[in-house]
Amino acid sequence: MEVRKKILVIDDEIDLVQMVEFQFKAKGYEVQTASDGLAGLECVHLFKPDLIILDINMPRMGGIEFYSKICGPDGKPLYPVLVLTARANIQGLFQDLHIDGFMIKPFDIDRLVHEAGLIIKKRSQEASLPKAEFLRDTRRVCIVDQDKGIFDKLSGLFLDADYTVIPARSGAGALERMMKDVPDVALVHLGLTDIPGDTVVFRLSQMSKTMDVKFVLYTSKSVQHDRHVMERLSAKTGIWTFVEYNQLSELVSVVEQILKN
């Protein structure tokens, strides 16, 4: 008989917890709940969840403190974590932390169930495959965009397509993040305000650790650009391709084609 996957939900919103618990149990998961980080700590190591769905703002012990207490000596959490929060600006706090997913309240419950299933599936594959084989088969994309709405939509599209998303919300953040966590492909928005996207690509393409990353520079077709500037960008060193998109889904197709080739 197949062993049911376990999910620990840590959140102080009773109605939300009850809804999430009901939906996951209906999908065949074993679920435990806790109203704050302290209660979560009391059961996490005995329950040994396949995924922790973690709120940030809670009484007694919040999500960030709970996260720090379940990390091993290497700084990585002992269990997969999906952060669930009403604070839309908090994602930047997790750029250098090892979380597996991030969802902002209010959320679509079907999307949460789907995302949780993807995380658990990926972790199961990681545990069952030889290390080298898993790393070879995992598709990793770094998304660099300071516009939160675009960043969230684009991240969602790639997560749905079974990619691992490496987030960066600025040019400086991208330089730092990709030196630590090298992706297969990097999507870099042209209009970053701290460091222009093409400059970010050029710098990373000159570094030995990231010179083999396939860099995609992109911008919306709704933004007016000088055609001669665009032509020069298309030929600039380090840029694998330059895309002016109508729909964000076009960027997923571009990345799929790059990796296929």
DSSP class of 94: G
The pLDDT profile of the chain, 261 residues, written as one tens digit per residue, is: 468 899 999 999 999 999 999 999 999 999 999 999 999 999 998 999 999 999 988 888 888 889 989 988 777 889 999 988 776 555 555 555 678 888 888 888 888 999 899 888 887 766 554 544 444 456 889 999 999 889 989 988 888 888 888 899 999 989 988 888 889 999 999 989 999 888 898 888 888 788 889 999 999 887 665 555 555 555 555 677 888 899 999 999 999 999 887
If DSSP codes are grouped into helix, strand and coil, which group holds residue 191? coil
The rounded distance, in Å, linking the Cα atoms of 48 and 35 is 17
pTM over 0.75: no
Helical H segments across 48-165, by residue range: 63-69, 109-128, 131-137, 148-160
